[in-house]
């Protein structure tokens, strides 16, 4: 089982779009795939037409009063299941703080479905928190979407430092540019300027396209409703760069 997490300290950079589209692509090629919507806003759950609610909320999951497998929901797509968001996830830091092994609990929960899935995606809320520390321990690969802006590079430096200071196992960091417009000189300059020494930067750049914004309206991944679009092809290229062998 390989665990990916779409993560950034900043919000509004394309984490959910990436998680939804790559999870769909993984499932489409026959991999048993699970997406856990960890963001209390529940955008990924909405994209898959699943109500963002877990009976007992985050507390029940973290304390294991509700086995994780009983909270899973099927999506409209073969091989793709969803662990929905819940508004109570906003308090998940507090729930984790009350448990033993507070920084590894989410990874332990995922082990209970280890034999059921080939790939798991974690769609993470934007923060540096105890949930973030759990994600660092649980994920094999951290997918970090960056908007081509100067402040994004500064935030990325903070994230690299956060990962470096995390205790225990550290995920591979894969940054990629999202919501990019190469017509803008600033975007082109930032894409060229990002340090590539010691940090993996994907060759694929996800462009700023209205069809990606239509995911919320269509409630489906881009490759599902617009398989020949430029956006779909870009997500396919990104998946080809990061997918496990």
| Total number of domains in the chain | 1
pLDDT in tens, 142-167: 999 999 988 888 888 888 888 887 76
Q: Is the pTM of this model over 0.75?
A: yes
Q: State the Cα–Cα distance between residues 10 and 128, nearest whole angstrom.
A: 10
**In the structure encoding, which two tokens stand for residue 178, read together?**
């999202």
Domain extent, residue 83, equals 2-242
Residue of higher predicted confidence among 245 and 81: 81
Tally Cβ neighbours within 10 Å of residue 116: 13
- Provide the pLDDT for residue 169: 67
pLDDT above 70: residue 242: yes
Residue 137, domain CATH: 3.40.50.300
What mean pLDDT comes out for the span 39-43? 95
Q: State the Cα–Cα distance between residues 143 and 121, nearest whole angstrom.
A: 10
Q: State the Cα–Cα distance between residues 73 and 127, nearest whole angstrom.
A: 26
57-71, 99-113, 121-135, 184-198: segment of lowest average pLDDT = 184-198
- Provide the pLDDT for residue 168: 65
CB 125 within 8 A of CB 40: yes
pLDDT in tens, 181-221: 988 999 998 888 887 777 789 999 999 999 999 999 999 99
- Provide the pLDDT for residue 98: 83
């Amino acid at each position: 089982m390989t665990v990916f997490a779409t993560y950034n300290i900043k919000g509004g950079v394309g984490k959910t779009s990436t998680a939804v589209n790559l999870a769909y692509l993984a499932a489409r090629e026959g991999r048993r795939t699970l997406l856990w919507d960890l963001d209390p806003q529940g955008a990924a759950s909405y994209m898959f037409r699943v109500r963002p609610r877990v009976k007992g909320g985050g507390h029940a999951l973290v304390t294991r009063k509700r086995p994780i497998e009983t909270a899973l929901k099927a999506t409209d797509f073969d091989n793709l299941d969803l662990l929905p968001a819940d508004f109570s996830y906003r308090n998940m830091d507090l729930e984790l703080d009350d448990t033993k092994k507070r920084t590894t609990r989410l990874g332990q929960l995922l082990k209970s479905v280890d034999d059921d899935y080939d790939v798991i995606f974690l769609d993470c809320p934007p923060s540096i928190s105890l949930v973030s520390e759990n994600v660092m321990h649980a994920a094999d690969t951290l997918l970090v979407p960056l908007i081509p802006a100067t402040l994004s590079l500064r935030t990325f430096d903070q994230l690299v430092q956060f990962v470096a200071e995390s205790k225990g196992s550290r995920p591979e960091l894969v940054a990629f540019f999202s919501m990019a417009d190469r017509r803008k000189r600033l975007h082109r300059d930032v894409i060229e300027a990002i340090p590539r020494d010691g940090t993996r930067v994907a060759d694929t750049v996800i462009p700023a396209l209205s069809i990606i914004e239509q995911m919320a309206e269509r409630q489906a991944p881009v490759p599902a409703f617009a398989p020949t679009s430029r956006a779909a092809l870009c997500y396919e290229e990104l998946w080809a760069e990061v997918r496990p062998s």
